[in-house]
């Protein structure tokens, strides 16, 4: 007999309105993310500005409301002035983060235009590695001000009359990491971030700032880093960042799919640390979370490190081009479910990254753009995961894995889109050994009817997509019933499920 799992979806049990920026992403000057990714003049699909239209179409399909730029590690040695104005006068630079030659042919002027075409907002990171308050202020003036002053005039002289109106600003990147150019100890970074945000707020009080949290949960300085930096910067920032990448180096699918337990622990610890500092400060202000780098990343790590060591200073080399498989897509679905369950605190999240570099979208230099396996859970969540995150009690069987215990077979949550009159359940069966009989009680939504049950199931764990060959793509699932407000079906072993209801 199959295992059973039961869920209650009630319209009054609302966790929070979902911030649409939960479906953000990230473009870094790294590998082929920009060059031969979003920008490739001369490619048959390039538009008049050199932007690949095939890529833009896929980005629009994902409906990404905000995109972090220009890094990542890249930003910590970035001279933004080199990336604006007439292209023939732009300086070539060494990018120390990825040991690459940066031509600056594509920069802030181009990215802001590209984002408009992609229907996305820019989330801009400032360089707090090798630079400081002055440069952040100059960049802000260039981007956002309409004054008759040097940098605003400079932008206008570059043909961009209207300010870019960038609202969300990252105070550097992964400043806790010894690998970061200009890495700083917590107190020093906390002071710099506080003073930078304070000065930027004088220019524009409506901006929101993201403080660098830990680069990953394994950092030896976690969570003291958060406590110390927030103690310095609390009054000036709105979010603390979290980054984490996952991998399956031990080739143990069950344990890999249990890794959202670690993510839960990470989120819980950061939320507690924010709230601890709030309590110490007797502050009324709550700090929320910006999980601005998340994904699976391990397939190419070793070969990339070798490449950067042996052959530095190439232009847009193939770096971090992980080819994702089916189990990676399942983990991404589980991560998205976890974020939705914490939608009251996780307001921004960026799938890292968007094109070619650990990305859902890949390009062939001389060919088409194509969708990786991980494209689909993100697509579904972005498309159907808008509205209110619901708190859904769930009973499910559990199992143990090599490094995790009491792992629920089913992880699931639901979103209520009041405007559209729709409820969507997102569910993963991460039991590698069996199907699960699943029921969802939607009786609080009188007259609810099933629109569709779609998802990914039945693939080899290592199945991948490639240009022209989508081995892993969503299918419609049959075999469900809906009686008196109760939905029942079988969730296949190792499956991603999206169950949509009209309510």
Q: Which residues are catalytic?
A: 174, 293
Q: Minimum distance from CB of 98 to ligand AHR (Å)?
A: 8
Task: Check: CB of residue 503 under 8 Å from CB of residue 445.
Answer: yes
Burial class (CB in 10 A: 0-12, 13-18, 19+), 106: buried
Whole-angstrom distance, CA of residue 119 vs CA of residue 5: 39
> Cβ closer to ligand AHR: 293 or 321?
293
> Cβ closer to ligand AHR: 79 or 245?
245
- Give the residue among 178, 177, 175 at the shortest CA–CA distance from 189: 175
> Cβ closer to ligand AHR: 8 or 211?
211
**Residue whose C-beta lies closest to ligand AHR:** 72
Q: Minimum distance from CB of 200 to ligand AHR (Å)?
A: 21
> Cβ closer to ligand AHR: 31 or 455?
31
Whole-angstrom distance, CA of residue 449 vs CA of residue 442: 10
The CA angle 214-216-219, to the nearest 5 degrees, is 75
> Cβ closer to ligand AHR: 243 or 316?
243
CB-based contacts of 341, cutoff 8 Å, min separation 6: 15, 389, 413
> Cβ closer to ligand AHR: 28 or 135?
28
Q: Minimum distance from CB of 167 to ligand AHR (Å)?
A: 21
Whole-angstrom distance, CA of residue 303 vs CA of residue 317: 13
- Give the residue among 123, 199, 163 at the shortest CA–CA distance from 153: 163
Q: Minimum distance from CB of 40 to ligand AHR (Å)?
A: 21
Whole-angstrom distance, CA of residue 385 vs CA of residue 442: 17
Sign of the Cα torsion 76, 354, 362, 261 reads: positive
Task: Check: CB of residue 81 under 8 Å from CB of residue 127.
Answer: no
- Residues near ligand AHR (CB under 6 A) are 28, 71-73, 173-174, 215, 243, 293, 352-353
Cite the beta strand spans of 336-393 per DSSP E. Answer: 346-351, 361-363, 369-371, 388-390
Task: Check: CB of residue 122 under 8 Å from CB of residue 188.
Answer: no
Q: Minimum distance from CB of 353 to ligand AHR (Å)?
A: 6
- Give the residue among 465, 436, 437 at the shortest CA–CA distance from 362: 465
> Cβ closer to ligand AHR: 15 or 349?
349
Task: Check: CB of residue 248 under 8 Å from CB of residue 298.
Answer: yes
The owner of tokens 């990404």 is 64
> Cβ closer to ligand AHR: 293 or 327?
293
Burial class (CB in 10 A: 0-12, 13-18, 19+), 58: buried
Q: Minimum distance from CB of 30 to ligand AHR (Å)?
A: 6
Q: Minimum distance from CB of 128 to ligand AHR (Å)?
A: 13
Q: Minimum distance from CB of 293 to ligand AHR (Å)?
A: 5
Whole-angstrom distance, CA of residue 67 vs CA of residue 20: 12
């Amino acid at each position: 007999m199959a295992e059973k799992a039961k869920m209650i979806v009630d319209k009054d049990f609302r966790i929070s309105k979902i911030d649409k920026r939960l479906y953000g992403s990230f473009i870094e000057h790294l590998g082929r993310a920009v060059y031969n990714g979003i920008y490739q003049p001369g490619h048959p699909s390039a538009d008049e500005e050199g932007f690949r239209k095939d890529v833009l179409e896929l980005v629009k399909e994902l409906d990404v409301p905000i995109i972090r730029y220009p890094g990542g590690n890249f930003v910590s040695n970035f001279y933004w002035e080199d990336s604006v104005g007439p292209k023939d006068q732009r300086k070539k630079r060494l990018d120390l983060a990825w040991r690459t030659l940066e031509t600056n042919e594509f920069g802030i002027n181009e990215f802001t235009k590209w984002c408009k075409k992609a229907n996305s907002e820019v989330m801009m990171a400032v360089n707090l590695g090798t630079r400081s308050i002055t440069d952040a202020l100059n960049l802000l003036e260039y981007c956002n001000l309409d004054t008759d002053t040097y940098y605003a005039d400079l932008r206008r002289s570059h043909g961009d009359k209207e300010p870019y109106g960038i609202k969300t600003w990252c105070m550097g990147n992964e400043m806790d990491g010894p690998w970061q150019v200009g890495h700083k100890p917590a107190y020093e970074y906390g002071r710099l971030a506080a003073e930078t945000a304070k000065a930027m707020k004088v220019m524009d009080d409506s901006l929101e700032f993201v403080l660098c949290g830990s680069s990953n949960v394994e950092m030896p300085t976690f969570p003291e880093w958060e406590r110390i930096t927030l103690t310095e910067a609390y009054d000036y920032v709105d979010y603390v960042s979290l980054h984490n990448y996952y991998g399956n180096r031990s080739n143990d699918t069950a344990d890999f799919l249990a890794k959202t337990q670690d993510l839960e622990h990470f989120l819980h610890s950061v939320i507690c640390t924010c709230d601890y500092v709030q309590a110490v400060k007797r502050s009324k202000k709550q700090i929320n979370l910006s999980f601005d780098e998340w994904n699976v990343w391990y397939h190419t790590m070793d070969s990339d490190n070798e490449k950067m060591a042996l052959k530095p200073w190439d232009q847009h080399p193939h770096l971090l081009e992980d080819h994702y498989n089916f189990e990676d897509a399942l983990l991404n679905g589980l991560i998205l479910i976890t974020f939705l369950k914490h939608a009251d605190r996780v307001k921004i999240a960026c799938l890292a990254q968007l094109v070619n570099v650990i990305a859902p979208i890949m390009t062939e230099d001389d060919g088409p753009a194509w969708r990786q396996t991980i494209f689909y859970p993100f697509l579904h969540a972005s498309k159907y995961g808008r509205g209110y995150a619901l708190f859904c009690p769930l009973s499910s069987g559990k199992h143990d894995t090599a490094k995790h215990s009491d792992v629920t077979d089913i992880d699931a949550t639901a979103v209520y889109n009041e405007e559209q009159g729709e409820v969507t359940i997102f569910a993963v069966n991460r039991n590698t050994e069996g199907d699960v009989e699943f029921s969802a009680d939607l009786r609080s939504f009188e007259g609810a009817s099933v629109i569709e049950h779609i998802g990914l199931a039945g693939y080899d764990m290592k199945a991948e997509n490639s240009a022209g060959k989508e081995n892993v793509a969503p299918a419609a699932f049959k075999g469900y019933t809906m009686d008196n407000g109760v939905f029942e079906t079988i969730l296949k072993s190792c499956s991603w499920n999206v169950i949509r209801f009209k309510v």
